[in-house]
C-alpha cells in the first residue's frame, strides 16, 4: 500500500513556466485554426480536419500539462494502449457504417 | 506484528455485520462477493428452472408470453451482470490474488470495498424494477429500438447495469495495479501464478471496454427520456450503431468471464497432476492474446443485423483468430496431464469437465463464426446451447472447481469428497441433458426467446427440462456438502492438496496480514520438486 503511495506522489514541476505558456499559446493558436478551417468548405474533410486538430490539442495537453512527458515510460505505454484500442473500435465500426448498402 | 499473530482473519477485526460490510480486508470482501453472488445465482437458477418448466411441453402451461419475456431478461441480466462478469475475479481474485503474490492486501483496499458497494447498489436497483414500472422485457442485450419503446422500466435496469460497470472497472484497476506493484520479493512476472496472469489480462479488458457499455447504456436512457434520435430509426437514429456499441463491450466481456476461469484451471491442473505446468509462458501470453483479439471480433454477433457485407466478412475472418490462443491453452493443459501423477479429486473433475464442455462451446462458436452457417443458426436455441456451454459449462464449472479448490484455504475446513463427486457427476450429466438437446432443436430451427414452440421440437425440449432437474439436484448436493463442511468439516491443514503456489504457505484460513513474515520467492509457481512436494 505504502509503496504505491510513495511512488505516485506529486513530483516537483519538471519544466519551467515558459514551456507552459508556450504550450498554452500553441493551444490557443490551434483553437483559432479550428475556427478558421470551419469556414472553408471541404466536404467530409471538414470533420476530419477538426478531429485532427482536436487530437493534436489533446495530445499536447496530455504530454505537457498532464506530465506524461516527464513520467515513467510505463505510463506512456498505457496511454498508447488506450489510443490503439480506441482506434480499433472506431476503425472497425467505420468499416460497417461507411460502406453499408441498402438492405 | 501485533499480539494477534496466530489468529485467523475471522478472529480479528470488528465483530458483527459491520466488521464485514465495512471491512477493507480483501479476504472479507471476497467472501462478501461470494455470498452475494451465490444468492443471485440461486435466484437466476430458479428463473431458469421456471422457463424450462414452461418449455417442457408445447403450448402455454405455467407462464404467459409477456412474463416469459421478463423471465429470460431477468435471468440473463442476473447471470451475466451479477454472476459471471464479477465471477471468479470478485470472489477468488479478491481473496487469493494478494495471497498468491505474497502481498498484504490489494493496492487500493478502500476502492475494493467501494466496488462491492457499487455491486450491491446496482443489483438492488435492478431488482427494484419488480416494484416500479415492471421488469424489463428486452433480453439482457437491451437492443434498440425495442428497448427505447418498451413500456417496462428499462431505464432503471440500464442505469443499474451502468453502476455495475463501475464496480467492474474498479476491480480491474485494482488488480492491474496490485500485480504491477505488490508482488513479493523475487516474484518476477514469469514467477507469477497463472491465475494472476488471467486476472491481469481481465483487468485490462475491464478498464478499457467497460466504459463503452457504460456510455452506451446511458445513451439508451437519454434516448428514452429526450428522444434525440441516436438509435431510434423513426427519428433518424441507427439501431445497428447500438449493436456495435453494445458488443464492443460485451464481446470482450465474454473474455472477462472466461480468462480468470482459464487461470483457475491452470492452477488446478498442475496441482492435481503433480507436475509443473506445460508451456507456462504460452499460457500467460495466450491470455494476453485472447484479451487483444477479443476486441476485434464483436461484429460476429451482428451478422444478420443489416451490417455491411465488408464488415461481415472482416469480422467472420477475425473471429477464427480467437480459436488459436484458446487452443494453445487447451493443449497445454492436456500436455500437463500427460504422464502426470493424476489425483482425481473434485477440483480436477471440475477442471476436466471444464475443458470438455468449454471445447464444445468453443467449437460450436466456430460454427457460428462462419458467416454462412450463422445466418441459419442466428437467434435459435443453438445459440442458447452454445453460450450456456461456454458461460456455464466453462466459467460456471470453473467457478465451482475453484470453490472446491480454495474452500479449505478460505474457510479452514475440509468438505467430504464423496458427496462432492456425486454432486459433480449429477451436475455434469444434468448439464449435458439440459443443453445438448438445444443444439439439435436449434439446428432444426427452433427460435430462442419464445415461450412456445412447434410440436416437432417437443422431444429435445422435454429432455432438456428433465436435464435441468438433474443439474439442480447436483447443485443441491454440492451446496449441502459445502455448508455442512463449514460447521462440521475437519480442520484443513495449510496445504491440503500439496500445491506449490504461495497461498498454500500460510495457514488456513490465513491471518489478517496474510503472512507472518513477508515471503521471498525463489522458485517458479509450479516447482513441485524444488519445494519438496514430489520426489524428483
Ligand atoms: C439451472 C441453470 C440454468 C437454466 C435452467 C437456464 C435456462 C435458460 C433458459 C431456458 C433460457 C432462455 C432461452 C430462450 O428462450 O431464449 C436462458 C437464457 C439465458 N441464460 Fe440460462 N439457464 C441456466 C443457467 C445459466 C447460467 C449459469 C448462465 C450464465 C453463466 C446463464 C445465462 C443465460 C443468458 C445470458 C441467457 C440469455 C438471456 C436472453 O436471451 O436475454 N444461464 N437460460
Question: What is the rounded average pLDDT of the residues B432-455?
Answer: 97
Residue B4 pLDDT greater than 80, yes or no: no
What pTM, to 2 d.p., does this model score? Answer: 0.92
Q: Does A85 contact B295 at a Cβ distance shorter than 8 Å?
A: yes
Q: How far apart are CA B436 and CA B458, in angstroms?
A: 14
- Which residue, among B100, B116, B190, has the nearest Cα to B108 in the 3D structure? B116
Helix (H, G, I), strand (E, B) or coil at B307: coil
Q: What percent of chain B has pLDDT over 90?
A: 89
B114 in contact with chain A, both atoms CB, cutoff 8 A: no
Nearest C-alpha in A relative to B110: A1
In the block, cell 496530455 appears at: A62
Q: Does B204 contact A96 at a Cβ distance shorter than 8 Å?
A: no
Instruction: Provide the shortest C-alpha distance from residue A82 to chain B (in Å).
Output: 7
Q: How confident is the model at residue B532 (pLDDT cuts 50, 70, 90)?
A: confident
Q: How far apart are CA B8 and CA A92, in angstroms?
A: 51
Which residues on neighbouring strands pair with residue B447, listed in sequence order?
B380
Measured between beta carbons, the chain B residues lying within 8 angstroms of A88 are: 295-296
Question: Which pLDDT belongs to residue B470?
Answer: 98
Instruction: Provide the shortest C-alpha distance from residue B299 to chain A (in Å).
Output: 9
Question: What is the rounded average pLDDT of the residues B323-339?
Answer: 94
Question: Which pLDDT belongs to residue A102?
Answer: 57
B241 in contact with chain A, both atoms CB, cutoff 8 A: yes
Which cell numbers hold the place of B41? 445465482
Q: Is the CB of B449 under 6 A from ligand 1?
A: yes
Q: Does B311 contact A3 at a Cβ distance shorter than 8 Å?
A: no
Question: What is the rounded average pLDDT of the residues B385-411?
Answer: 98
Q: Does B307 contact A100 at a Cβ distance shorter than 8 Å?
A: yes
B125-134 contact pairs (CB < 8 A, 24+): B125/B156, B125/B159, B125/B160, B125/B163, B126/B77, B126/B78, B126/B81, B126/B82, B126/B156, B126/B157, B126/B160, B126/B161, B126/B164, B128/B156, B128/B160, B129/B153, B129/B156, B129/B157, B129/B160, B132/B156, B134/B70
Average pLDDT, chain A: 82
Q: How far apart are CA B365 and CA B303, in angstroms?
A: 14
Q: Does B311 contact A4 at a Cβ distance shorter than 8 Å?
A: no
Question: What is the rounded average pLDDT of the residues A56-64?
Answer: 93
Which cell numbers hold the place of B498? 500439496
Q: How far apart are CA B472 and CA B427, in angstroms?
A: 7
φ and ψ of B335, to 5 deg: -65, -30
DSSP-assigned states of every residue in A9-48: SPPPP-S-HHHHHHHHHHHHHHHHHHHHHHHS--TTHHHH
B513 in contact with chain A, both atoms CB, cutoff 8 A: no
Say how many Å lie between the CA of residue B75 and the centre of ligand 1: 6
Q: How far apart are CA B438 and CA B435, in angstroms?
A: 5
Question: Which pLDDT belongs to residue A8?
Answer: 47
Q: Is the CB of B447 under 6 A from ligand 1?
A: no
Q: Which of A1, A89, A103 sits opposite B306 (nearest CB)?
A: A103
Helix (H, G, I), strand (E, B) or coil at B47: helix
Q: Does A82 contact B311 at a Cβ distance shorter than 8 Å?
A: no
A59 in contact with chain B, both atoms CB, cutoff 8 A: no
Question: What is the rounded average pLDDT of the residues B323-338?
Answer: 95
Q: How far apart are CA B208 and CA B197, in angstroms?
A: 17
pLDDT tens column, B277-330: 999 999 999 999 999 998 899 999 999 998 998 899 999 999 999 899 999 999
Question: Which pLDDT belongs to residue B2?
Answer: 41
- Which residue, among A71, A67, A88, A56, has the nearest Cα to B292 in the 3D structure? A88
Q: How far apart are CA A59 and CA B231, in angstroms?
A: 31
Domain layout of chain A by residue ranges = 14-100
Within 13 Å, how many C-alpha atoms sit on residue B488's CB side? Answer: 5
Question: What is the rounded average pLDDT of the residues A49-72?
Answer: 90
Q: Does A92 contact B314 at a Cβ distance shorter than 8 Å?
A: yes
- Cα separation values, B456 from B100, B373, B440, B470, Å: 53, 22, 12, 24
Question: Which pLDDT belongs to residue A2?
Answer: 42
Question: What is the rounded average pLDDT of the residues B194-222?
Answer: 95
Which cell numbers hold the place of B107? 493496492
Topology of domain B17-535 in CATH is: Cytochrome C Oxidase; Chain A (1.20.210)
Produce one character per residue of B359-398: b if its CB has 16 or more CB atoms within 10 Å, e if not. bbbbebbeebbebeebeebbebbbbbbbbbbbbbbbbbbb
pLDDT tens column, B482-522: 999 999 999 999 999 999 999 999 999 999 999 998 999 99
Question: Which pLDDT belongs to residue B534?
Answer: 85
B292 in contact with chain A, both atoms CB, cutoff 8 A: no
Q: Is the CB of B43 under 6 A from ligand 1?
A: no
A and B: number of Cβ contacts within 8 A = 60
pLDDT tens column, B8-36: 999 988 888 999 999 999 999 999 999 99
Question: Which pLDDT belongs to residue B22?
Answer: 95
Q: Is the CB of B76 under 6 A from ligand 1?
A: yes
Q: Looking at this predicted complex, what is its ipTM?
A: 0.80
In the block, cell 480468462 appears at: B259
Q: Which of B184, B310, B315 to mutate to test the interface with A (most CBs of A within 10 A)?
A: B310
Measured between beta carbons, the chain A residues lying within 8 angstroms of B248 are: 89, 93
Amino acid at each position: 500500500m505504502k509503496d504505491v503511495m510513495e511512488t505516485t506522489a506529486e513530483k516537483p514541476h519538471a519544466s519551467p513556466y515558459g514551456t507552459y505558456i508556450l504550450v498554452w499559446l500553441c493551444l490557443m493558436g490551434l483553437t483559432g485554426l479550428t475556427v478558421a478551417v470551419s469556414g472553408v468548405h471541404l466536404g467530409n474533410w471538414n470533420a476530419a480536419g477538426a478531429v485532427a486538430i482536436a487530437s493534436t490539442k489533446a495530445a499536447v495537453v496530455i504530454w505537457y500539462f498532464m506530465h506524461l512527458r516527464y513520467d515513467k515510460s510505463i505510463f506512456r505505454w498505457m496511454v498508447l494502449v488506450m489510443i490503439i484500442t480506441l482506434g480499433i473500435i472506431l476503425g472497425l465500426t467505420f468499416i460497417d457504417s461507411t460502406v453499408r448498402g441498402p438492405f | 506484528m501485533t499480539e494477534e499473530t496466530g489468529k485467523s482473519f475471522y478472529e480479528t477485526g470488528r465483530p458483527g455485520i459491520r466488521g464485514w460490510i465495512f471491512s477493507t480486508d480483501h479476504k472479507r470482501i471476497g467472501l462478501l462477493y461470494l455470498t452475494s453472488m451465490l444468492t443471485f445465482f440461486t435466484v437466476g437458477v430458479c428463473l431458469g428452472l421456471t422457463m424450462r418448466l414452461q418449455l417442457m411441453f408445447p403450448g402455454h402451461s405455467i407462464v404467459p408470453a409477456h412474463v416469459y419475456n421478463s423471465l429470460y431478461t431477468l435471468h440473463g441480466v442476473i447471470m451475466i451482470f451479477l454472476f459471471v462478469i464479477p465471477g471468479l475475479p470478485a470472489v477468488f481474485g479478491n481473496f487469493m490474488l494478494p495471497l498468491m503474490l505474497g502481498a498484504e492486501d490489494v493496492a487500493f483496499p478502500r476502492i475494493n470495498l467501494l466496488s462491492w458497494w457499487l455491486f450491491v447498489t446496482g443489483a438492488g436497483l435492478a431488482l427494484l424494477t419488480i416494484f416500479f414500472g415492471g421488469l424489463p422485457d428486452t433480453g439482457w442485450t437491451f437492443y434498440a429500438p425495442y428497448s427505447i419503446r418498451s413500456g417496462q422500466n428499462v431505464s432503471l435496469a440500464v442505469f443499474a447495469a451502468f453502476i455495475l460497470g463501475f464496480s467492474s472497472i474498479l476491480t480491474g484497476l485494482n488488480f492491474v495495479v496490485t500485480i504491477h506493484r505488490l508482488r513479493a520479493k523475487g516474484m518476477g512476472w514469469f514467477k507469477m501464478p497463472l491465475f494472476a496472469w488471467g486476472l491481469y489480462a481481465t483487468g485490462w479488458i475491464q478498464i478499457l471496454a467497460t466504459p463503452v457499455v457504460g456510455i452506451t447504456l446511458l445513451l439508451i436512457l437519454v434516448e428514452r427520456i429526450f428522444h434525440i434520435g441516436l438509435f431510434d430509426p423513426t427519428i433518424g437514429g441507427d439501431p445497428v450503431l447500438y449493436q456495435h456499441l453494445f458488443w464492443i463491450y460485451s464481446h470482450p466481456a465474454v473474455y472477462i468471464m472466461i480468462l480468470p476461469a482459464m487461470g483457475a484451471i491452470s492452477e488446478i491442473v498442475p496441482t492435481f497432476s503433480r507436475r509443473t505446468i506445460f508451456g507456462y509462458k504460452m499460457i500467460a501470453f495466450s491470455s494476453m492474446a485472447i484479451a487483444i483479439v477479443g476486441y476485434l471480433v464483436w461484429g460476429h454477433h451482428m451478422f444478420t443485423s443489416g451490417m455491411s457485407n465488408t464488415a461481415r466478412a472482416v469480422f467472420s475472418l477475425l473471429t477464427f483468430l480467437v480459436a488459436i490462443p484458446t487452443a494453445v491453452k487447451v493443449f497445454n493443459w492436456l500436455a500437463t496431464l500427460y504422464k502426470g501423477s493424476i489425483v482425481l479429486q473434485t477440483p480436477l473433475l471440475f477442471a476436466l469437465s471444464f475443458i470438455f464442455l468449454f471445447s464444445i462451446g468453443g467449437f460450436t462458436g466456430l460454427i457460428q463464426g462462419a458467416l454462412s452457417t450463422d445466418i441459419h443458426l442466428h437467434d435459435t436455441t443453438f445459440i442458447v446451447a452454445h453460450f450456456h456451454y461456454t458461460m456455464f459449462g466453462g466459467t460456471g464449472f470453473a467457478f465451482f472447481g475453484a470453490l472446491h479448490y480454495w474452500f479449505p484455504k478460505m474457510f479452514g475446513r475440509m468438505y467430504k469428497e464423496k458427496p462432492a463427486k456425486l454432486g459433480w457427476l449429477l451436475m455434469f450429466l444434468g448439464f449435458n441433458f439440459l443443453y445438448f438437446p438445444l443444439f439439435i432443436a436449434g439446428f432444426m430451427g427452433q427460435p430462442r426467446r419464445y415461450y412456445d414452440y412447434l410440436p416437432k421440437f417437443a422431444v429435445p425440449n422435454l429432455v432438456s427440462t428433465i436435464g435441468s432437474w438433474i443439474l439442480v439436484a447436483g447443485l443441491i448436493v454440492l451446496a449441502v456438502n459445502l455448508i455442512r463442511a463449514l460447521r462440521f468439516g475437519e480442520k484443513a491443514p495449510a496445504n491440503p492438496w500439496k500445491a506449490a503456489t504461495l497461498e498454500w504457505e500460510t495457514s488456513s484460513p490465513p491471518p489478517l496480514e496474510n503472512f507472518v513474515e513477508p515471503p521471498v520467492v525463489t522458485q517458479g509457481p509450479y516447482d513441485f520438486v524444488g519445494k519438496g512436494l514430489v520426489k524428483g
